[in-house]
Amino acid sequence: MRILITAGPTREKIDPVRFITNYSTGKMGYALAQSAVEAGHEVVLVSGPVTLKAPENLAEFHSVESAQDMAEAVFSIFPSCDAAIMVAAVADYRPAEICSSKMKKSDGDLFLRLERTTDILAGLGKLKRDDQKLIGFAAETDDLLANAQGKLERKNLDWIAANKVSDGFGSETNKVILLSRTGERVDIDTADKKSVAEKILETVF
Ligand code: CTP
């Protein structure tokens, strides 16, 4: 199978020296990419800025920065793939204006206006053909299963990995609950991200 995987955070520029991002390290997405290569799949990895080395033997590697860059790469690659796993922690908002010069401080408060980015996964859910599988992640601090179930349905996914932020974000290990559109539930207990990745692939493919 040819599988598209996204990983890492995005960076949304404020000015030439500042940006908005999140704590994603990319480890879960890279572990999935590595495991998928080892399982014999053709893997296309689209990665936000991380400090990790790309797995060997990827079919393609695309390094992107912003949510918009990631959206453009993903929408052009997805039609040629059998499945996509969106692990990236994509920014939901970006500064409405990017200053071309470094912003100078003044005495008063500063207000940044943020505008929505594209929901890439929801876009893929609309484009998805019957022969394609779509898997998402739901990073939640509260109401894990209800929120994940909502995203599974809203974004037209086949599977979602429900992930408590305290169980995985920025850490070496992870713990997820996989929910499918047909009502299956598979619990994957705390383990290193590589083991969790292998179990996710065994379950969804
Ligand atoms: N996602 C995406 N594009 C975005 C935001 C999220 O493709 N602009 C994908 C993520 O890669 C993940 C899934 O959507 O697979 C869920 O992301 P998450 O951040 O948990 O949820 P949101 O859709 O941002 O919803 P909310 O803000 O309500 O938590």
Whether 168 shows a pLDDT value over 80: the answer reads no
Look at 17-26, 76-85, 160-169 and tell me which has the smallest mean pLDDT: 160-169
Using CA positions, which residue lies closest to atom 8 of ligand 1?
119
CA atoms of 97 and 108, how far apart (whole Å): 19
Distance in Å from the first CA to the final CA of the chain: 10
CA atoms of 184 and 166, how far apart (whole Å): 24
Query: Does the active-site annotation cover 156?
Result: no
Whether 75 shows a pLDDT value over 80: the answer reads yes
- Determine whether the shortest distance from the Cβ of 135 to ligand 1 is under 6 A: no
Averaged pLDDT, 160-189: 93
Whether 154 shows a pLDDT value over 80: the answer reads yes
Mean pLDDT of the chain: 97
Averaged pLDDT, 123-133: 97
| 199 CB-near residues (< 8 Å, 6+ apart) | 186, 188, 191
Averaged pLDDT, 1-21: 98
CA atoms of 75 and 54, how far apart (whole Å): 21
Cα angle: 118, vertex 58, 80; to 5 degrees: 50
Averaged pLDDT, 87-103: 97
Averaged pLDDT, 138-167: 95
Tokens 């959206």 appear where?
71
- Contact in structure between 10 and 88 (CB atoms under 8 Å): yes
Question: What is the whole-number distance in angstroms between the Cα of residue 101 and the centre of ligand 1?
Answer: 31
Q: State the pLDDT confidence band at 74, using cuts at 50, 70 and 90.
A: very high
- Determine whether the shortest distance from the Cβ of 179 to ligand 1 is under 6 A: no
Whether 162 shows a pLDDT value over 90: the answer reads yes
Tokens 């305290």 appear where?
166
Question: Which secondary-structure segment (H or E) carries 71?
Answer: helix 67-77
CA atoms of 87 and 192, how far apart (whole Å): 16
pTM for the predicted model, two decimal places: 0.96
Question: What is the whole-number distance in angstroms between the Cα of residue 157 and the centre of ligand 1?
Answer: 12
